[in-house]
Chains A and B, each alone.
Chain A
Amino acid sequence: MAQANTVDLSLIEEILDEYASVPGSLITILQKTQEVYGYLPMDAIYRISERTGNSPAKIMGVATFYAQFRLQPIGKYLIYLCKGTACHVNNSDLIGATIEQELGITNGETTEDGLFTLEHVACLGCCSLAPVMMINGEAYGSLTPQKTIQILQDYRKKEASA
């Protein structure tokens, strides 16, 4: 409830107007809510509960079941590190270690400057380019430690110049 006063709940009213009364739309509502805030603030969950009639316990159950949902804010750049089989066989652990070393965060964490969040994902489906990572929807394949560091530094530079 720490963010109780910081979330503008009016931002999701439109979403709720469209979906609140459509049965089975809870996941869609949560996805769209997360698009708005970048995560699922507790107050938004209570608001969704009020509008949809689902109990908060049920919404929490759904929100914590799926890997996509987050209850905490994330960094500006969300790094998905692929942990698929092909990536594993092609030493994605090494890429993971490189990112951790470079950014000083582990799986699920966000850098102190709020720039990067690292998340391991099951498979990005770019197996032929293994090892792969995806940053804000853009995939990077055939990674080596050097290439990984370069990519991350490019993002940093972009931020610094912006």
Chain B
Amino acid sequence: MDSIKITIDDNELTARKGQTILEIARRNGINIPTLCHDERVKPYGACGICVVEAKGSAKLLRACSTKASDGMVIHTDTDRVKQARKVAMELIMSDHVGDCRGPCTINCPAHTDCQSYVHEIAQGNFQEAVKIIRDRIPLPSCVGRICPHPCEDACRRNLVDEPVSICALKRFASDTDYDSEHSYVPPVAPDTGKKVCVIGAGVSGITVAYFLRQNGHKIDVLDAMPKNGGMFRYGIPNYRLPKDVLEQEINVLRYMGVSFHNNVCVGKDVTLDELRKKYDAVVVAIGAWKDQPLRCKGTDLDGVIGGCEFLEQIGLGKRPEIGKNVAIVGGGNTAMDACRSAVRLGAENVYIIYRRTREEMPAEDDEITEAMEEGVQFKFLYNPVELSGENGKLTTMKVQKMRLGEPDESGRRRPIPLENEYTDIQVDTVIGALGHTLRPEGFEQLEMTDKGTIEAGLHSFRTSLDGVFAVGEATNKGATIAIDAIAQAGQAVDQIDAYLYGGTSFYKEPYYSEKKVSESDLADRPKIPRHPVQKRDRTLAKSDFQEVNYRYTKEDAMAEAKRCLECGCFDYGHCTLIKRANEMPIHPERFAGSQHPSYKEQELVCIERDQGKCILCGLCVRICDEVAKKGILGLVGRGFPTVVKPEFRDPAVIAGCKDCQLCFDACPTGALKLLVPEKEK
């Protein structure tokens, strides 16, 4: 047997004559990426991904087909090679028309696999759904109640009728699972011996604890408040998020082995330095609890209170004295929570004072509608200029009329005061809900941003102190929505985990193929209205803090879940194409241009072919020819417009095609989909 010597990436290797560079590399554990290659068929050389550089050769060589020669010196990872692979991949993706993931998943900050769990719900597999949800979200019953659901905003069903009620389905699945005999608890890896302290038992802290614990680390969560949950407990009123639900969810973490320690205030009861010594890593997740003050005269009067403070009081089980006339200043979700809580506390006149219009309100639309239904009076285009009172007790709020000018940096139209247009409103209480920031006490050692939040690496989550990470509302840009905090905390877990083992992890936003879809593309889809969630009687609802929205019935949930258009690709988890794409820093949009039409055909006996996703690697055609020896599939046309087409006429051919599935098996992406269950292997 002839043997040859070849050098690949400075490794001197011995190989058999006649072996390809790819074979030799793979045999020696050197990775050369491929896409159109399959050992069962002859090398084809279409994709241009497996190129390598050979010393003395002007051209790049295709590793899949080039036979090694004695003395060859190969480099598989030079800049030139990387550039060639990158552009080839960008070109491929520029004509790969399909959605890797549904728009719901992509738009969810935590990239929750909505389509999959909705699918499981549709099939009645509720615990399977919960497993998928819990892969990203530690508190699914809570999030399923209060999430502003960016997933639904992106839902493609918007182009047909209304979005799938993804958020309510999440709550349904999770609540249902809690009711079951063996509700799901995520598995925990064997003990690693590493200890991590999480400061703050809010959404961010719980998320970090939940995922780090699954990795086998010992987790202590400290919280200054008597109970856990952070803003979920002390910021969001019970009628939206019942506290027993929250407690049930936190118990899952307890089952997993997370230890919670309440009434521990860092800075008073223990110092940050002490924690740093005691633990392998410390995660600061203290949230933002300090109300931004109202910017007008008279805020020191009795009867002026911050929104967070007000809701915190309620969360602590108190019933603050607010009188009959209550004005809430602001247009966000805190303002909505505050006004609806004020209604429930018995106030007769509850006002929202907002300096812009409903259009610009950051609060959720549903919340606004429900507040209106509960009798809250919205005073749009008003801004408080002065609070006044008698004997130190607030009585009157003077507001100024505004109009909208040009859009500001936030994109919303800027309010402009109108001169001499003032109105007085009689008030007993004014609640300022203009945003909130952190209380920095106890964390002075950490570097802060200009906004007064903790400075943390955008992707590293590291603070200025070694071993101290910071996540959530207390960091960088400050307050945000819960699902954002969960997403961030989830990313931070990888960084913290890497740190515990002495390394660094580089976060890369995953690349997804996305398809542009317009209303006309979906014109053939039947219109099915959304199944509404049953709500508590309005009159009753506004009289106490009992939960307002009910859980879907099983029938409604399954029917609602069936409305899903299933935009995301069935093959996402197995797709070689997207795997390769994510191995390179690609920007296919640079080469945006004409694309193959995206249509699906079921001409193949047991397989659906998606023309848009086909990358013309020829594997299906080649495997049908060379391995199955059937020659049913062929390439039609030339150049860019080339397509793959099956040719049937003879019934014997159709019979021969049936159940072979080799083409499906060979397809490196989701262009071929089985219409029958996968063959037993």
Contact = CB atoms under 8 A, between A and B. Distances in A.
B649 A61 contact: no
Contacts of A66: 638
Contacts of B630: 55
Contacts of A156: none
B649 A57 contact: no
A129 interface: no
A101 interface: no
B632 A64 contact: no
A65 B647 contact: no
Contacts of A58: 631, 634
A56 interface: yes
Interface size class of A (residues with CB under 8 A): 10 to 19
Contact of A65 (B631, B638, B645, B646): B638
A140 B631 CA distance: 44
Interface in B629-674: 630-638, 645-647, 649
A106 B637 CA distance: 20
A56 B638 contact: no
Contacts of A54: 631
B638 A57 contact: no
Given A46-B649, A57-B646, A64 B637 contact: yes
B647 A64 contact: no
Contacts of A61: 634-636
A98 to B, nearest CB: 28
For B631, B637, B638, the residue with the greatest tally of chain A CB atoms inside 10 Å of its CB is B631
Nearest to B636: A64
A108 to B, nearest CB: 13
B637 A55 contact: no
Interface in A55-72: 55-58, 60-61, 64-66
A57 B637 contact: no
B631 A55 contact: yes
- Of the candidates A46, A54, A65, the one having the most CB atoms from chain B within 10 angstroms of its own CB is A65
A152 B214 CA distance: 81
B665 to A, nearest CB: 19
A54 B630 CA distance: 11
Contacts of B634: 55-58, 60-61
Interface in A34-55: 46, 54-55
A43 to B, nearest CB: 10
A64 B649 contact: no
Contacts of A65: 635, 637-638
Contacts of B645: 57, 60
A60 B634 CA distance: 7
A60 B649 contact: no
B620 to A, nearest CB: 11
Nearest to A56: B647
Contacts of A64: 636-638
Interface string A80-93: 00000000000000
Interface residues of B, number: 13
Nearest to A61: B634
A152 to B, nearest CB: 30
A77 B107 CA distance: 58
Nearest to A57: B634
Pick the most buried of B634, B637, B638, B646: most chain A CB atoms within 10 A of its CB.
Answer: B634
A60 B636 contact: yes
B638 A60 contact: no
B42 to A, nearest CB: 16
A129 B631 CA distance: 46
A12 B136 CA distance: 66
Nearest to A42: B649
Contacts of B647: 55-57, 60
Contacts of B638: 64-66
Contacts of B631: 54-55, 57-58
Interface in B558-585: none
Nearest to A55: B631
A46 B634 CA distance: 15
A66 B631 CA distance: 20
Contacts of B635: 61, 65
A28 to B, nearest CB: 19
A55 B632 contact: yes
Nearest to B633: A57
A65 B639 CA distance: 9
B651 to A, nearest CB: 13
Interface string A129-156: 0000000000000000000000000000
Nearest to A66: B638
A55 B633 CA distance: 9
A120 to B, nearest CB: 14
A52 to B, nearest CB: 12
A55 B637 CA distance: 16
B672 to A, nearest CB: 16
A61 B637 CA distance: 7
A57 B637 CA distance: 12
A57 B604 CA distance: 13
A61 B631 CA distance: 11
A63 to B, nearest CB: 9
A66 B649 CA distance: 23
Contacts of B636: 60-61, 64
Interface in B217-250: none
Nearest to A1: B649
Nearest to A50: B650
Interface in B597-642: 630-638
B568 to A, nearest CB: 31
A66 B635 CA distance: 12
A162 to B, nearest CB: 37
B659 to A, nearest CB: 19
Contacts of B633: 57
A65 B634 CA distance: 11
A70 to B, nearest CB: 13
Nearest to A43: B649
Interface in B311-328: none
Nearest to B630: A55
Contacts of B649: 46, 56
A101 to B, nearest CB: 27
A64 B646 CA distance: 14
A118 B630 CA distance: 38
B456 to A, nearest CB: 58
B162 to A, nearest CB: 43
15 contacts: A55-B630, A55-B631, A55-B647, A56-B634, A56-B649, A57-B632, A57-B633, A57-B634, A57-B645, A58-B634, A60-B634, A61-B634, A64-B636, A64-B637, A65-B638
Top 9 A-B residue pairs of the complex, sorted by shortest distance between their CB atoms: A57-B634, A55-B631, A57-B647, A56-B647, A61-B634, A64-B636, A64-B637, A65-B638, A61-B635
Given A54-B631, A55-B631, A61-B634, 19 more contacts: A55-B632, A55-B647, A56-B634, A56-B649, A57-B631, A57-B632, A57-B634, A57-B645, A57-B646, A57-B647, A58-B634, A60-B634, A60-B636, A60-B645, A60-B647, A61-B635, A61-B636, A64-B638, A66-B638
Interface of A: 46, 54-58, 60-61, 64-66
